[in-house]
């Protein structure tokens, strides 16, 4: 590892810390400083003022704001989220430990699908710029971007589970199978492989197809657009002209030279666009009753479980910061200008 | 066309200029835009198509009452009618001897009315009773109609019970009765339960009997209000911040940039969800929650452009001539960022409409009786197996409006983006 | 013009048009010239006069919206305009190669130096064994004065001059007959530029290839070229031996161009010659001779008819009515002595 690379990575790690700090502070501002009384909304109007005060005191909400803030920061950093107010007062960290793997299991196949499909068709559209196929691909990308992800999910449900019932409608696994399935890591696909439970594995995969396809397809629009614009720019670069002047085949120029260079800006953008993926995951999870982070968040908001809500948003913030850091590392690995 | 120059050549005409390019010099502005299609090709068509679509959508949004046949909140017919389907009429079956002529006669609380369990007749019964009570109230009489519904497993069981006199009357659809009623000579069809509305609804009705077509027409107004106002609020906050931050640099710029980058990287919908959840339902709160998401987008673009324009020679020259910073910012830098703002605005409105629909879908945005696409989609989800039209039309409407805005943005950026320009 | 085995490239009546949204631009207009084997030909002109376009047209590298609208390019007896894509690819790189202005950007930033060179060999000679290719690369790189350990470097680790040498190497690795250097030294500093110029000359001696040096820098051409072609507004206005043109320029534009070059004599306070007018807008080029609005010698005839490229003495072509006859010409034709 060269010293410039090491410096780059250390700088990035140090930049991630203020980012996490800002995001956690943002959660705090949204949850405590914005108008609206979480306790009142949690308990409902019927509860007496004494009971509300008691709950405030239990949650430490009667202390000065700055004390609350530092307490909040400390609890977030130590991952001490407290217990859920509803559903048997389980520690929230345990609940999130089950939900996060579900979300990851949903997003990873979606990301792989969208990256492959989006980058290939974006590059192809760039190569054929201003030809019919380019306009076709662009129209497709605008269209999938414009269709609300939950609507796309619902349409898929109607087609593939109601009209032609070949795929399950919702959930992560058949309910019957859940009874004798004991999750270890809560990545169900992984768990079923570890246990050699092939029926469960098949069930997991068939449940995964529609949600991840929906999520992946919805993101493809953005990917095609990013790849295409960056590719067009890259194809006008001097080294492509120089390669053409050396008689390198066009295909090689587009898919080897230009595309490999396009990966660098695309990768930074993936890091930033990751937010879209998570936002999409919330809607996809709600549509397909997928018991992940997003659905958990929406459920807890409905139940007014404000401790769980702030913990969930905090975990999302961590997740985003870590992905962004990971993208920077990958970026350093791909771009030799940083590596050396 | 290209010949070697000879001395006889009067004008050195090396190439044939396409006629449209010659025309370009002579025609007015409107014709120029029209002729531009030859140069921009597909993108020109994208812009024109989306512009027309938007014009149409905006007209619908401003004057929904011109297009919507019904009040979007009114229950206009029976529920879950498929597109074009007329509400099915229900008839009252009673014993010939009972001498009943209409439903009103047996609608008091001491009577029993038979229905098949979980069939549409139960709702028809409910509606008929409500209608009778409303009528009575309007006439100033006490509203006391409340017959006891008796549920039967099958039609035959119900009819036998009616024939035996166990219930005063039985309610069923005429289509169901066909071929079965003949087996019970002691029964007769007394007539329709209530007056029929024969015509159907173009997009059908939802689960509470509202006209879906009217609801999506009125939903356009909500979507446009939320989309446009939140985009405008973001511009009003993001653009000045970006200009100033890029212009003055220094620690202010660094802190603001870090803040905006963090905000930008955070999943927008999740942020909007939490803000909307804390603020509570209401159109103003939704606008605020969505506007927060797009401030960083404007900030980043405007700041980046300000930084690069600041280096330009003409700005340096103006500075060296002693122009005030505010003059430089307003007269030299701001005009340069306008094209990008236009492009982002268009895409931003599209995204804001999607986000709004998403929030309402999660039940977080607007009061639940609002005619809103997201709310309709969320409700329709429960009837996925029975009524496809509940989600299809609001969904298509969101997609169409978003498509129009993002197509405009995408093709404008293709035309205006200097990074993609060829010449 | 002569046509024997001395001639490597014959360009005849070549025209290139750009189709912009403001209308077509005639970037290269009816240009004819030859490039001889093993010579260094300098192509000079102001920026925007079409010299780079002409260079690219020689390789048929004109991309839409520009187009070669007419003309012929005969390379070593073969008509380049008739090549299909496969033939064209083979022609580029193997017979003809190009070095660009900006050495920072003309190498693929994510490819190592040796990968560039080996890729060139493998694409054009797919049968070559990797070891042989590597051997060839090592030999060549040594001759260009690049250390062998530099082969595993990425372009951004090299200096500008070194990168241009790699670009030259990419032309030489397949033994091209012609290298087009398009403003290849413009972005280098003076010392590095001088080194590169020396190297270009050495390479010409060593490999016997022809070099077309495209530049706006007359001093560079004087330094390096055997012959010089002066270009103005898409046309070559004068072509001849470097010494002849510098000693006795014929075309009014060449005369103006040469007298506007500053000299570095310290006591020289002579005012530089400034040419009147602006280079023309090529969307609507002037009628007749394109230089006539700026020409101090312009005649009524000049705005009406375009002159031919005529060989006034052997090896010396001028595109000007001063040296050509025309029935409507008012002044007598100047006869040039050999």
For residue B9, the model assigns a pLDDT of 36
Phi and psi at residue A78, to the nearest 5°: -90, 10
Q: Report chain B's mean pLDDT, rounded to a whole number.
A: 80
Q: Are strands C7-20 and C66-75 parallel, antiparallel or unpaired?
A: antiparallel
Residues in B closer than 8 angstroms to C21, CB to CB, are 36, 39, 423
Could you tell me if A137 and A124 are in contact, meaning their C-beta atoms sit under 8 angstroms apart? Answer: yes
Evaluate if pTM is beyond 0.90.
no
Please give the average per-residue pLDDT across B290-304, as a whole number: 90
Does C13 sit within 8 Å of B2, measured CB to CB?
yes
What CA–CA distance (Å, rounded) separates B360 from B367?
9
Flag whether pLDDT at B7 surpasses 70: no
Sequence-distant (6+) residues with CB within 8 A of C206 are C143
Q: At what angle do helices B334-361 and A149-157 cross, to 10 degrees?
A: 40
For residue B404, the model assigns a pLDDT of 92
Give B68-88 pLDDT, tens digit per residue: 888 888 777 777 777 777 766
| Residue A331 to residues A14, A259, A265, A269, B238, Cα–Cα distance (Å) | 17, 15, 9, 11, 29
Flag whether pLDDT at A300 surpasses 80: yes
Of the candidate ranges A123-132, A179-188, B33-42, the one whose mean pLDDT is the lowest: B33-42
CA distance B1 to chain A (A): 27
Q: Which of A146-160, B309-323, C104-118 tops mean pLDDT?
A: A146-160
Residue B23: pLDDT band with limits 50, 70, 90? low
Residues in C closer than 8 angstroms to B25, CB to CB, are 23
Instruction: Measure CA C164 to chain center.
Output: 17
Please give the average per-residue pLDDT across A284-295, as a whole number: 91
Residues in C closer than 8 angstroms to B21, CB to CB, are 23-24
Give A115-137 pLDDT, tens digit per residue: 889 989 999 998 888 888 999 99
Quickly count: other Cβ atoms within 10 Å of residue A320's Cβ: 23
Q: Which of A224-233, B185-194, C44-53, C186-195 tops mean pLDDT?
A: A224-233
For residue A36, the model assigns a pLDDT of 59
Residue A42: pLDDT band with limits 50, 70, 90? low
Instruction: Measure CA C143 to chain center.
Output: 25
Is residue A1 classed exposed, middle or buried when 0-12, 13-18 and 19+ CB atoms within 10 A define those classes? exposed
Query: Which of B1, B3, B7, B34 would best serve as a mutation to test chain C binding (most C beta carbons within 10 A)?
Result: B7
Give the DSSP letter of residue B145.
B
What CA–CA distance (Å, rounded) separates B293 from B288?
9
For residue C58, the model assigns a pLDDT of 86
Residues in A closer than 8 angstroms to C97, CB to CB, are 245-246
Give the DSSP letter of residue C145.
T
Give the DSSP letter of residue B315.
H
For residue A171, the model assigns a pLDDT of 82
What CA–CA distance (Å, rounded) separates B217 from B65?
8
Give the number of B-C residue pairs with CB atoms closer than 8 Å: 52
Flag whether pLDDT at C338 surpasses 70: no
For residue B13, the model assigns a pLDDT of 38
Residue of B4, B17, B36 lying closest to C24 (CB–CB): B17
What CA–CA distance (Å, rounded) separates C289 from C300?
11
Could you state, in order of their start, the residue ranges of all structural domains in chain C? 1-89+229-263+271-338
Q: At what angle do helices B250-265 and A3-28 cross, to 10 degrees?
A: 70
Could you tell me if B353 and B402 are in contact, meaning their C-beta atoms sit under 8 angstroms apart? Answer: yes
Residues in B closer than 8 angstroms to A36, CB to CB, are 278-280
Does C23 sit within 8 Å of B15, measured CB to CB?
no
Chain B interface includes A245 (CB < 8 A): no
CA distance A3 to chain C (A): 15
3-state SS, one letter per residue, for C325-337: CCCCCCCCCCCCC
% of chain A residues with pLDDT over 90: 15
Please give the average per-residue pLDDT across A36-59, as a whole number: 67
% of chain C residues with pLDDT over 90: 0
Does A297 sit within 8 Å of B273, measured CB to CB?
yes
Q: Of B291, B292, B277, give the one whose Cα is nearest residue B365.
A: B277
Does B2 sit within 8 Å of C69, measured CB to CB?
yes
CA distance C14 to chain B (A): 10
The 8 Å CB, 24+ separation contacts for A162-168 are A162/B384, A162/B385, A162/B388, A167/A206, A167/A207, A167/A209, A167/A210, A168/A203, A168/A206, A168/A207, A168/A210
| Residue B269 to residues A278, B234, B272, B292, C46, Cα–Cα distance (Å) | 9, 15, 5, 11, 56
Does C69 sit within 8 Å of B15, measured CB to CB?
yes
Flag whether pLDDT at C111 surpasses 80: yes
Q: Are strands C316-318 and C235-241 parallel, antiparallel or unpaired?
A: antiparallel
| Choice between A3 and A258, residue whose per-residue pLDDT is larger | A258
Residue B231: pLDDT band with limits 50, 70, 90? very high
Give B96-132 pLDDT, tens digit per residue: 777 777 777 777 777 788 887 777 777 777 777 777 7
Flag whether pLDDT at B232 surpasses 90: yes
% of chain A residues with pLDDT over 70: 91
For residue A322, the model assigns a pLDDT of 84
What CA–CA distance (Å, rounded) separates C318 from C248?
12
**CATH topology for the C1-89+229-263+271-338 domain:** Rossmann fold (3.40.50)
Residue C1: pLDDT band with limits 50, 70, 90? very low
Q: What are C18's strand-pairing partners? A: C25, C66
% of chain B residues with pLDDT over 90: 15
| Choice between C252 and A273, residue whose per-residue pLDDT is larger | C252
Could you state, in order of their start, the residue ranges of all structural domains in chain A? 3-78, 98-302
Residue of C15, C21, C308 lying closest to B14 (CB–CB): C15
Give C13-30 pLDDT, tens digit per residue: 888 888 776 677 788 888
Could you tell me if B377 and B212 are in contact, meaning their C-beta atoms sit under 8 angstroms apart? Answer: no
Please give the average per-residue pLDDT across B320-334, as a whole number: 82
Is the torsion defined by CA of A301, A303, A304, A310 positive or negative?
Answer: negative
Please give the average per-residue pLDDT across B191-206, as a whole number: 70
Give C164-190 pLDDT, tens digit per residue: 888 888 888 888 888 888 887 777 778
Please give the average per-residue pLDDT across B164-168, as a whole number: 78
Token look-up 């369990």 returns B117
Residue of A130, A279, A320 lying closest to B269 (CB–CB): A279
Please give the average per-residue pLDDT across B41-47, as a whole number: 83
Instruction: Measure CA B153 to chain center.
Output: 41
Residues in C closer than 8 angstroms to B14, CB to CB, are 15, 17, 26, 29-30, 69
For residue C103, the model assigns a pLDDT of 74
For residue B234, the model assigns a pLDDT of 94
For residue A133, the model assigns a pLDDT of 92
Question: Residues 163..222 of A with a Cβ closer than 8 Å to B: which?
Answer: 169
Percentage helix, strand, coil for chain A under 3-state DSSP, each rounded to 5: 80, 0, 20
- Measure the CA angle with vertex B163, ends B162 and B165; round to 5°: 65
Q: Report chain A's mean pLDDT, rounded to a whole number.
A: 82
Sequence-distant (6+) residues with CB within 8 A of B191 are B91, B92, B101, B102
* CATH of the domain spanning A98-302, picked from 2.160.10.10, 1.10.3720.10, 3.30.1360.120, 3.30.70.260: 1.10.3720.10
Residues in B closer than 8 angstroms to C71, CB to CB, are 2
Chain B interface includes A147 (CB < 8 A): yes
Does C100 sit within 8 Å of A241, measured CB to CB?
yes
Give C222-264 pLDDT, tens digit per residue: 888 889 988 888 888 888 888 888 888 888 888 888 887 766 5
Does A146 sit within 8 Å of B354, measured CB to CB?
yes
Please give the average per-residue pLDDT across A146-162, as a whole number: 91
Residue B423: pLDDT band with limits 50, 70, 90? very low
């Amino acid at each position: 590892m060269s010293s410039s690379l090491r410096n780059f990575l250390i700088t990035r790690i140090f930049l991630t810390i203020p980012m996490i700090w800002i995001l956690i502070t943002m959660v705090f501002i949204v949850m405590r400083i914005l108008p609206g009384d979480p306790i009142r909304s949690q308990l409902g109007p019927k509860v007496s003022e004494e009971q509300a005060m008691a709950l405030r005191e239990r949650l430490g909400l009667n202390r000065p704001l700055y004390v609350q803030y530092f307490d909040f920061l400390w609890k977030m950093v130590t991952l001490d989220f407290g217990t859920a107010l509803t559903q048997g007062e389980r520690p929230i960290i345990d609940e999130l430990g089950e939900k996060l793997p579900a979300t990851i299991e949903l997003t990873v196949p979606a990301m792989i699908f969208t990256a492959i499909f989006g980058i290939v068709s974006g590059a192809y559209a760039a190569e054929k710029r201003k030809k019919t196929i380019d306009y076709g691909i662009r129209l497709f990308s605008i269209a999938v971007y414009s269709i609300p992800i939950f609507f796309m999910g619902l349409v898929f449900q109607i087609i593939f589970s109601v009209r032609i019932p070949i795929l399950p409608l919702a959930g992560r696994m058949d309910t019957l199978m859940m009874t004798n399935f004991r999750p270890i890591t809560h990545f169900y696909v992984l768990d079923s492989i570890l246990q050699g439970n092939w029926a469960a594995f098949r069930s997991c995969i068939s449940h995964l197809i529609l949600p991840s396809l929906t999520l992946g397809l919805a993101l493809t629009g953005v990917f095609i657009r990013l790849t295409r614009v960056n590719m067009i720019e890259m194809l006008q670069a001097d080294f492509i002209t120089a390669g053409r002047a050396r008689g390198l085949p066009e295909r090689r120029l587009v898919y080897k030279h230009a595309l490999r260079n396009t990966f660098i800006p695309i990768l930074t953008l993936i890091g930033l666009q990751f937010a879209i993926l998570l936002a999409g995951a919330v809607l996809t999870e709600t549509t397909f009753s997928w018991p992940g982070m997003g659905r958990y968040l929406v459920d807890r908001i409905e139940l007014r479980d404000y401790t769980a809500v702030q913990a969930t948003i905090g975990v999302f913030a961590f997740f985003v910061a870590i992905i962004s850091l990971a993208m920077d590392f990958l970026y350093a690995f791909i771009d030799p200008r940083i590596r050396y | 066309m290209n010949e070697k120059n000879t001395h006889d050549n009067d004008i050195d005409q090396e190439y044939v200029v396409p006629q449209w390019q010659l025309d370009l010099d002579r025609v007015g502005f409107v014709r120029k835009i029209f002729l531009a299609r030859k140069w921009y090709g597909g993108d020109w068509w994208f812009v024109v198509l989306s512009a027309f679509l938007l014009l149409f959508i905006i007209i619908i949004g401003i004057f929904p009452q011109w297009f919507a046949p019904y009040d979007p909140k009114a229950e206009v017919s029976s529920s879950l009618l498929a597109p074009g389907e007329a509400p099915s009429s229900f008839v009252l079956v009673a014993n010939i001897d009972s001498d009943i002529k209409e439903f009103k006669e047996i609608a008091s609380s001491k009577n029993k009315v038979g229905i098949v369990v979980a069939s549409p007749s139960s709702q028809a019964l409910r509606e008929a009773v409500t209608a009778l009570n409303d009528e009575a109230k309007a006439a100033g009489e006490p509203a006391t109609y409340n017959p006891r519904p008796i549920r039967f497993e099958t039609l035959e069981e119900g009819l036998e019970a009616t024939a035996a006199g166990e219930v005063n009357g039985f309610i069923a659809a005429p289509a169901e009765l066909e071929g079965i009623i003949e087996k019970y000579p002691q029964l007769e069809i007394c007539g329709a339960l209530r007056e029929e509305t024969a015509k159907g609804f173009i997009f059908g009705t939802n689960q509470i009997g509202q006209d879906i077509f009217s609801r999506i027409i009125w939903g356009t107004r909500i979507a446009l209000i939320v989309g446009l106002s939140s985009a405008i609020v973001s511009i009003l906050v993001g653009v000045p911040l970006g200009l100033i931050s890029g212009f003055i640099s220094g620690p202010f710029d660094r802190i603001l940039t870090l803040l905006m980058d963090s905000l930008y990287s955070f999943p927008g919908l999740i942020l909007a969800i939490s803000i909307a959840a804390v603020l509570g339902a209401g159109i103003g709160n939704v606008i605020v929650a969505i506007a927060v998401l797009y401030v960083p987008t404007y900030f980043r673009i405007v700041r980046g452009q300000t930084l690069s324009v600041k280096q330009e020679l003409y700005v340096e020259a103006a500075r060296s001539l002693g122009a005030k910073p505010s003059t430089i910012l307003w007269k030299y830098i701001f005009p340069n960022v306008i094209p990008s703002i236009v492009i982002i605005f268009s895409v931003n409105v599209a995204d804001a409409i999607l986000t709004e629909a998403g929030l309402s879908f999660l039940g977080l945005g607007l009061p639940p009786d609002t005619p809103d696409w997201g709310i309709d989609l969320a409700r329709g989800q429960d009837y996925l197996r029975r009524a496809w039209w509940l989600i299809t039309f609001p969904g298509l409407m969101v997609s169409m409006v978003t498509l129009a805005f993002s197509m405009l943005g995408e093709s404008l950026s293709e035309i205006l983006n200097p990074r993609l320009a060829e010449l | 013009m002569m046509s024997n085995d001395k001639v490597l490239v014959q360009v005849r009546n070549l025209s290139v048009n750009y189709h912009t949204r403001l209308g077509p631009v005639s970037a290269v207009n009816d240009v004819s010239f030859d490039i001889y084997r093993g010579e260094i030909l300098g192509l000079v002109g102001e920026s925007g006069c079409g010299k780079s376009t002409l260079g690219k047209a020689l390789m048929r590298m004109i991309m839409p919206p520009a187009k070669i609208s007419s003309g012929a390019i005969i390379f070593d007896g073969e008509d380049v305009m008739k090549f299909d894509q496969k033939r064209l690819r083979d022609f580029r790189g193997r017979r003809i190669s190009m070095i660009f202005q900006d050495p920072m950007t003309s190498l693929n930033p994510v490819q190592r130096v040796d990968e560039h060179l080996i890729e060139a060999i493998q694409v054009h000679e797919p049968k070559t064994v990797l070891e042989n290719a590597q051997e060839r690369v090592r030999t060549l790189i040594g001759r260009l004065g690049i250390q062998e350990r530099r082969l595993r470097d990425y372009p951004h680790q090299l200096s500008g001059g070194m990168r241009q040498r790699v670009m030259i190497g990419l032309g030489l690795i397949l033994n091209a007959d012609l290298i087009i250097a398009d403003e290849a030294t413009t972005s280098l500093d003076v010392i590095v530029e001088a080194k590169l110029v020396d190297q270009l000359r050495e390479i010409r001696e060593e490999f016997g290839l022809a070099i077309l040096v495209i530049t706006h820098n007359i001093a560079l051409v004087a330094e390096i070229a055997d012959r010089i072609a002066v270009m103005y507004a898409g046309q070559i206005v004068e072509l001849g031996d470097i010494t002849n043109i510098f000693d006795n320029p014929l075309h009014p534009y060449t005369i103006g161009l040469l007298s506007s070059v500053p000299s570095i004599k310290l006591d020289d306070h002579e005012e530089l010659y400034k040419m009147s007018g602006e280079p023309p807008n090529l969307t609507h080029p002037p009628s007749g001779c394109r230089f006539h609005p700026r020409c101090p010698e312009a005649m009524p005839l000049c705005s009406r008819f375009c002159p031919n490229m005529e060989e006034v003495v052997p090896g010396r072509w001028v595109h000007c009515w001063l040296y050509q006859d025309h029935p409507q010409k008012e002044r007598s034709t100047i006869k040039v002595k050999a």
